[in-house]
Structure 1
Amino acid sequence: MNILMICPQFPDTFWSYKHALAFVGKQATFPPLGLLTVAGLLPAQWNKRLIDVNTRKLRDRDLAWADCVFITGMVVQKSSAHGIIARCKKAGLKVVAGGPLFTMEHEAFDDVDHFILNEAEITLPEFLTDLENNRARRVYATEGFAEMRDSPPPAWDLVDMKRYQGMGIQYSRGCPFNCDFCNITSLLGRRVRTKSADQVIAELDGMYAAGWRRGNVFFVDDNFIGNKHHLKSELLPRLIAWRKDRPGITFLTEASINLADDAELMGLMVEAGFDTVFIGIETPEEAGLAECSKTQNEHRDLVQDVKIIQRAGLQVQGGFIVGFDSDQPSVFQRQIEFIQKSGIVTAMVGLLQAPRGTALYQRMEKAGRLRGAASGDNVEGTTNIVPLMDFERLLAGYRNILNHIYDPRHYYERIRTLLREYHPRKRRCLPSRSDLLALFRSIYRLGILGRERAQYWKLVLWASFRRPDLFATAITLAIAGYHCRKVCELHVH
């Protein structure tokens, strides 16, 4: 069979980095790791092609080649997925769909022939057996969770690596915490399941052999430090050894704030090549944290925790939410003050949404406060719940946060706050052609044409004299800020 694997379009959000990617000549941030993993589960004799519509158009001749289409996606890709599925059906192709979007909302896709829901390591083999015997059902689902040792390595040969800013890899699934607005535990459970260190190293070797010799590798785990013992004793020592001859590779991931409590773990992560970590801060208000069951963030000095992590050598990116029932009008200024004081440069602020499968969704449904499905896009200024605060007041406060923190003066001030605290491990490689291209484009677009040009040159001079070792980081963050401002202009004003 000829299998066409399609990744739908991501809209223009904070996470797309669309406007920043233009500086480095890339089309997308990361390839679709889910589809690459599924490719490893399909029969070896099948022919497979990957079309990521974030990097190139889906052409009629692609559809003409295929016998069947496999599609996956996140909720934020819903609109694009509908259009692609309609086009595939018009071409007479069978469509097989799986992944988070379809696991949560498969009833919204009437044209899909077969749904492979939950974790494909369990549900896909059963579908393939039934397909071979001409008895394939429409829906394959399971309440069980796969063991990560059963997950195949991604099919890197399907990827045109030069189109991407970074690569992705998965070490674990599941999260020990149970925040009520988060659907990770409903999708992947609370038991943290990990791959062996041998599996991870083999996947990295495959990625490296396929041509990824320099750049970011994103450990896509929802909480990388969910199993600290295995990290410290098995994986991180192996990563440290692996990177000794590969200094051009750096890692980033997601973790919980209790990372700040473990100096040994932070030290090992930095030595292994991690330099960035995304953390869900959500809110500085204790009442909001208690309301959403964010127990790991409660009763802490969150600003100090962020600074501890930054001083250890990990840049903190942060997720923030407004719209909790307990939020008062003062929360907007509190969020601004926290973000500025902490030096979290990349601050992703969204209105509270209730994804299906979450405790929040069930609570809002019971209270009659749901209005449709969550969009998955936390920057567009919408919510699928009826907030207790007047919505216009909530929206105005939310817009004020974004307009403030991504105003050039405040944004560049935050870069300097981070650079004063941030002490990453020194890199042992010279700038790449892509790095130099980004620098020259930033000089033209930000330093000459941009409305932030005064702040840009002030940062360039400051970093050159005060933190020359972090000059490249300063330019990277300036470019990221340009993207975030463009997104704010699209959604917020």
Structure 2
Amino acid sequence: MTHTPSKFHLILIKPTHYDDDGYPIRWRHNWIASNALACLHALAMDCRDRAVLGHETEIIVHTMDEISQVVPTRRLLRQVAGDGNAALVCLVGVQSNQFPRAMDIATPFLDADLPVIVGGIHVSGCIAMLKELPDDLREAKARGIRFFAGEAEQGRFEQVVRDAHAGRLPPIYNFLDDPPEITGQPTPLLPGTVLERSGWHNMSIFDMGRGCPFVCSFCTIINVHGRKSRFRSPDDLERIILENHRMGIHQFFITDDNLARNRNWEALFDRLIALRKGHGIPLRFQIQVDVQVHRVPGFIDKAVRAGVDQVFLGLESVNPENLAGAGKKQNKVGEYRKMMLAWKRHPVVLIGAYMIGFPNDTAESIRRDIEFLKRELPLDLVYFTVVQPLPGSQDHQRLYEAGASMDTDMNRYDTTQPVMDHPKMTREELRAAYLDAWRRFYTPEHMATILRRMFALGSNKKLTTANRLHWFSYFYPHMGVHPIDGGDHPIRKRRDRRPTFPRENPLVFYPRNLLRVARNIITAHFLLYRIRSLMRRIRRDPATADYRDIAIREALDNK
């Protein structure tokens, strides 16, 4: 008689968050996948392949990124019920703004008596920095939800799986004081069902290191991942590239907060160069670095040879007082242009992160700073955020312990809106200044300047620049969504509305949603057409070859 193995379901869900109308932000295709989901999916598949529950128990892994997938809750519940309700629901990489949505996703699973565990920056940050659990975590704990604080490698996730299978999950797993080494750990990889809806089928995400030595007061990284840097090896990197290559993925966003501080950067770039040449893999990368990267000998030249063509720079501000107050003393405004021009010797798209709402900011100073960015710096794109005291940061800890008034709705902590009072502006004035920053930087005139600089510098990143200009200029001004949360073709489900909002009548919801989708698609494609038409006109203009301005003159003169 053949023995039928039992089944244990691992359900991994990366939640999205709600928009201002109370609907989950969801797209047919989103821009950037989740690194946390890739890491946990790899750990789950490793548990399955090694049969950590014994060969009599088959582990079935379900992995979903809600920003581009509808979670099939009813189907999952039926499937799990048919297998004796043996399952663990993992809400993965949950940020503060995603925590309310995560709690709503958990409800039907809790109602079916399935164990639910939540991990990510919000849970880890609150446990790391606060003396007691805040109200939202206490409420979740009272509902029976478990917490995972820290990172899951080096057998930590396997321990959770074993405990869940045995029915002995503790209320909290806390590994914050013992960050794992990540060298030789399972290759972070997303399944095809997620990748086909992310990055337009050809882009994935991974990390090469964790931890940060800096002490920025607004940052959660140092308090969740620690200040000790830990790295993957060149062999790990090669496995990541080859595994993705087999699925046709050749473009990547490396999520390291500062790749230039990875002590193995040269060996990593050498391995990528060898993969490009030896295997003929057309690799392209977007990386994040600090503003002192040009002082690292050979880094920029070798990064470009390895396939880096988009670089994210944490400028944060051009006001020295703001930088000092945020603990960003390593940022020297006088170095910004020099650093950017070092990159601009190559065909690289530069993306600057800029924060609005520091205590010294006013509506007028923000306008002045935006004009400085446009005039003085050869940035192709700027990524604006509102200063928020994110749970897990020193700023949040200080304000929380002082009893300062902060919004209690975590859904608002998405870095696009004020969540506390500002000393020089009302919340309405700050939000208006934030919207004005997007509109003021991405004017047709300045986008034309960016394109002229691109042609004058001889860059071949024409479509990349035009497409990114479209993406960054469209989402917040037109849809109220940050570009990082953007995607192609918005999807709303009437029954998914946040419980604190009334459910809309079908006769109202469906016509309104159809008009909304049509308007968004038409305006998005029209803006893209305008930008590409502008690029073609500038390319045909004979004067473009002789274009000069203060931001790029030094690079052209040296050239």
CA gap of 1:450–1:158, structure 2 versus 1, over 3 A, is closer
Q: Name 2:485's counterpart in structure 1.
A: none
Q: Secondary structure at the match of 2:353?
A: strand
Give yes or no for the alignment of 1:458 onto 2:534: yes
Q: Name 1:408's counterpart in structure 2.
A: 444
Letter in 2 for 1:69: V
The answer on whether the counterparts of 1:286 and 1:299 sit within 8 Å (CA) in structure 2 is yes
Letter in 1 for 2:389: A
What are the Cα deviations for residues 167-186 of structure 1, in whole angstroms up to 9, with x where unaligned?
01110001121111011100
Superposed, 1:82-97 pairs within 5 Å as 82-97=103-118
Q: CA deviation at 1:329?
A: 4.5
Kindly indicate whether structure 1 or structure 2 has the higher relative contact order, using CA contacts under 8 Å at least 6 residues apart. Answer: 2
Q: Secondary structure at the match of 1:55?
A: coil
Q: CA deviation at 1:344?
A: 2.4
Q: Secondary structure at the match of 1:252?
A: strand
Give yes or no for the alignment of 1:50 onto 2:63: yes
Aligned mates of 2:445, 2:107 — CA distance in 1: 46
Q: Name 1:361's counterpart in structure 2.
A: 396
Q: Name 2:248's counterpart in structure 1.
A: 211
Aligned mates of 1:87, 1:152 — CA distance in 2: 31
Aligned mates of 2:542, 2:195 — CA distance in 1: 35
Aligned mates of 1:279, 1:298 — CA distance in 2: 13
Q: CA deviation at 1:141?
A: 0.5
Q: CA deviation at 1:351?
A: 1.7
Q: Secondary structure at the match of 2:30?
A: coil
Aligned mates of 2:285, 2:240 — CA distance in 1: 14
Superposed, 1:365-404 pairs within 5 Å as 365-372=400-407, 375-379=412-416, 381-383=417-419, 385-391=420-426, 392-404=428-440
Letter in 2 for 1:50: T
Q: Secondary structure at the match of 1:300?
A: helix
The answer on whether the counterparts of 1:318 and 1:346 sit within 8 Å (CA) in structure 2 is yes
Q: Secondary structure at the match of 1:57?
A: coil
Alignment counterpart, residue 11 of structure 2, candidates 4, 13, 17: 4
What are the Cα deviations for residues 271-324 of structure 1, in whole angstroms up to 9, with x where unaligned?
000101111111111111111111121353323322332333432111111221
CA gap of 1:386–1:456, structure 2 versus 1, over 3 A, is same
CA gap of 1:158–1:312, structure 2 versus 1, over 3 A, is closer
Superposed, 1:211-290 pairs within 5 Å as 211-212=248-249, 214=250, 216-227=251-262, 229-232=263-266, 234-244=267-277, 245-262=279-296, 264-290=298-324
Aligned mates of 1:156, 1:147 — CA distance in 2: 21
Q: CA deviation at 1:409?
A: 3.3
Q: Name 1:351's counterpart in structure 2.
A: 386
Alignment counterpart, residue 76 of structure 1, candidates 87, 94, 97: 97
Letter in 2 for 1:211: G
Letter in 2 for 1:71: L
Aligned mates of 2:541, 2:229 — CA distance in 1: 45
Aligned mates of 1:257, 1:185 — CA distance in 2: 18
Aligned mates of 1:62, 1:132 — CA distance in 2: 17
CA gap of 1:350–1:466, structure 2 versus 1, over 3 A, is farther
Q: Structure 1 stretch 172-181 or stretch 449-458: which is displaced more?
A: 449-458
CA gap of 1:454–1:134, structure 2 versus 1, over 3 A, is closer
The answer on whether the counterparts of 1:175 and 1:222 sit within 8 Å (CA) in structure 2 is yes
CA gap of 1:89–1:367, structure 2 versus 1, over 3 A, is closer
Give yes or no for the alignment of 1:137 onto 2:170: yes
Aligned mates of 1:261, 1:309 — CA distance in 2: 12
Q: Structure 1 stretch 133-142 or stretch 347-356: which is displaced more?
A: 133-142
Q: Secondary structure at the match of 1:186?
A: helix
Q: Structure 1 stretch 155-164 or stretch 293-302: which is displaced more?
A: 155-164
The answer on whether the counterparts of 1:344 and 1:418 sit within 8 Å (CA) in structure 2 is no
The answer on whether the counterparts of 1:153 and 1:203 sit within 8 Å (CA) in structure 2 is yes
Q: CA deviation at 1:6?
A: 1.3
The answer on whether the counterparts of 2:451 and 2:538 sit within 8 Å (CA) in structure 1 is no
CA gap of 1:180–1:467, structure 2 versus 1, over 3 A, is farther
Quote the RMSD (CA, aligned, Å): 3.2
Q: Name 1:99's counterpart in structure 2.
A: 120
Give yes or no for the alignment of 1:322 onto 2:356: yes
What are the Cα deviations for residues 128-162 of structure 1, in whole angstroms up to 9, with x where unaligned?
44445543211100212111125311244464432
Aligned mates of 1:445, 1:337 — CA distance in 2: 30
Q: Name 2:152's counterpart in structure 1.
A: 120
Q: Name 1:61's counterpart in structure 2.
A: 75
What are the Cα deviations for residues 337-374 of structure 1, in whole angstroms up to 9, with x where unaligned?
13312242321212210112222223333554341356
The answer on whether the counterparts of 2:115 and 2:164 sit within 8 Å (CA) in structure 1 is no
Q: Name 2:374's counterpart in structure 1.
A: 340
Give yes or no for the alignment of 1:177 onto 2:214: yes
CA gap of 1:452–1:132, structure 2 versus 1, over 3 A, is closer
Structure 1 unaligned residues grouped into runs of 5+: 428-437, 439-443, 469-493
Q: Structure 1 stretch 415-424 or stretch 297-306: which is displaced more?
A: 415-424
The TM-score with structure 2 as length reference comes to: 0.71
Letter in 1 for 2:69: R
Q: Secondary structure at the match of 2:29?
A: coil
Q: CA deviation at 1:408?
A: 3.2
Aligned mates of 2:89, 2:458 — CA distance in 1: 46
Q: CA deviation at 1:249?
A: 2.5
The answer on whether the counterparts of 2:117 and 2:147 sit within 8 Å (CA) in structure 1 is yes
Aligned mates of 1:64, 1:419 — CA distance in 2: 57
Aligned mates of 2:354, 2:286 — CA distance in 1: 19
Letter in 2 for 1:109: A
Q: Secondary structure at the match of 2:260?
A: coil
Aligned mates of 1:466, 1:4 — CA distance in 2: 58
Aligned mates of 2:527, 2:302 — CA distance in 1: 41
Aligned mates of 2:31, 2:292 — CA distance in 1: 27
The TM-score with structure 1 as length reference comes to: 0.79
Q: CA deviation at 1:462?
A: 1.6
The answer on whether the counterparts of 2:210 and 2:225 sit within 8 Å (CA) in structure 1 is yes
CA gap of 1:424–1:6, structure 2 versus 1, over 3 A, is same
The answer on whether the counterparts of 1:6 and 1:50 sit within 8 Å (CA) in structure 2 is yes
Q: Secondary structure at the match of 2:196?
A: helix
Aligned mates of 1:222, 1:393 — CA distance in 2: 31
Identity rate, percent: 22
Aligned mates of 2:88, 2:437 — CA distance in 1: 46
The answer on whether the counterparts of 1:36 and 1:158 sit within 8 Å (CA) in structure 2 is no
Q: Structure 1 stretch 175-184 or stretch 39-48: which is displaced more?
A: 39-48
Q: Secondary structure at the match of 2:315?
A: strand
